[in-house]
Amino acid sequence: MSLPPSLRTSVTPTELELIATQQLIEIIPLIAMEKTAFISGAYGPLRPPHRAKIPIWMAVNLKLKKKCHILPPYWLNVEFLQARLNEETSEAGFSRLPFRFAEVAKVLLDVAPDDIQDTEKIRSILKDLREARQAKSREGLANLDRGEFSLPNFCSLEINEVRPFFVRSMAILQQLYREPSDAV
């Protein structure tokens, strides 16, 4: 089997996490390291206590060895997320969040809760956001037809979640239309 059946219809959340952790994040290193060439680019030099920008996977790796502090991105705090949640519950469309916010938030909250303030509050806002957005995407399903269905500000993990159902629904709508014209 070249591709396991579970991977054929969609990518997995773990794979999305792999993609998301390629993004850069700021850290305060606790070890020194010369500038090093990686496949994705050159990172460093790390000189405590100066900030440096490295991919998230690298930051996670160092964090687990207690070799750095992670500086959370501009959107991972109570004020920003609360503002989005208010928007989410008061307005019709999806609020503007970074495309891969769910994956990044999960990784950072799991690995570096001590570097983020009010993690409990952030977790609960993220959960509320998720529920509010999920409800909207379900309502949006009513507008689905066989042509095109636009989803402004929909996020990577949310797309993956609704993919099987949305794709199948649209395929069925297409079939319902195609068959009578073929029979003529």
Partner 1 sequence: MSTWSAQFDAGTFAVDNSSSTSRSRVRRNVATLNDSDDERPTTRTLDSERDVVMAPPPFELEAEETPLQKLMRHWINERHAPDILPAQEELLASLLDHIRRQSDAVQLLRGEPSTSEEDHIRIMLVQTEVERVKFIVRSYVRTRLFKIEKFARFIMTNPEIQTRITTAERAHASRHANLTDRHFHFSVLQSLPETQSHLDDEPIFMPPMVTQPDDSVPVFVHALRECGPIHFPDGTSLNKMTPGYISLMPFASAKNLLKRGDVELV
Give the C-alpha separation, 181 to 184, whole Å.
5
Question: What radius of gyration, in Å, describes the C-alpha atoms of the chain?
Answer: 21
Q: What is the DSSP letter of 100?
A: T
33 lines the binding site for partner 1 (CB under 8 A): yes
Contact string (CB under 8 A) for partner 1, positions 96-115, x = contact: xxxx----------------
C-alpha dihedral sign at 70, 75, 80, 85 = negative
Residue numbers 126-165 binding partner 1 by CB under 8 A: 144-154, 156, 159, 163
Binding string to partner 1 for residues 75 to 94, with x set by CB under 8 A, is what?
A: x-------------------
| CB neighbours of residue 17 within 10 Å | 19
**CB-wise, 59 or 120, nearer to partner 1?**
59
Record the tokens describing residue 24, joined without a space: 């850069």
d(CA 82, CA 16): 25
According to DSSP, the β-strands at 41-43 and 36-38 are: antiparallel
**One of 23, 82, 119, 137 touching partner 1 (CB under 8 A):** 23
Contact 52, 31 (CB under 8 A): no
How many residues in the shown chain lie near partner 1 by CB under 8 A? 60
Taking the complex as a whole, how short is the minimal distance between the CB of residue 90 and partner 1, in angstroms? 19
**Site residues for partner 1 per CB under 8 A:** 2-3, 7-8, 10-11, 15, 18-19, 22-24, 31-44, 53, 57-58, 61-62, 65, 67, 73-75, 96-99, 144-154, 156, 159, 163, 166-167, 170-171, 174, 177
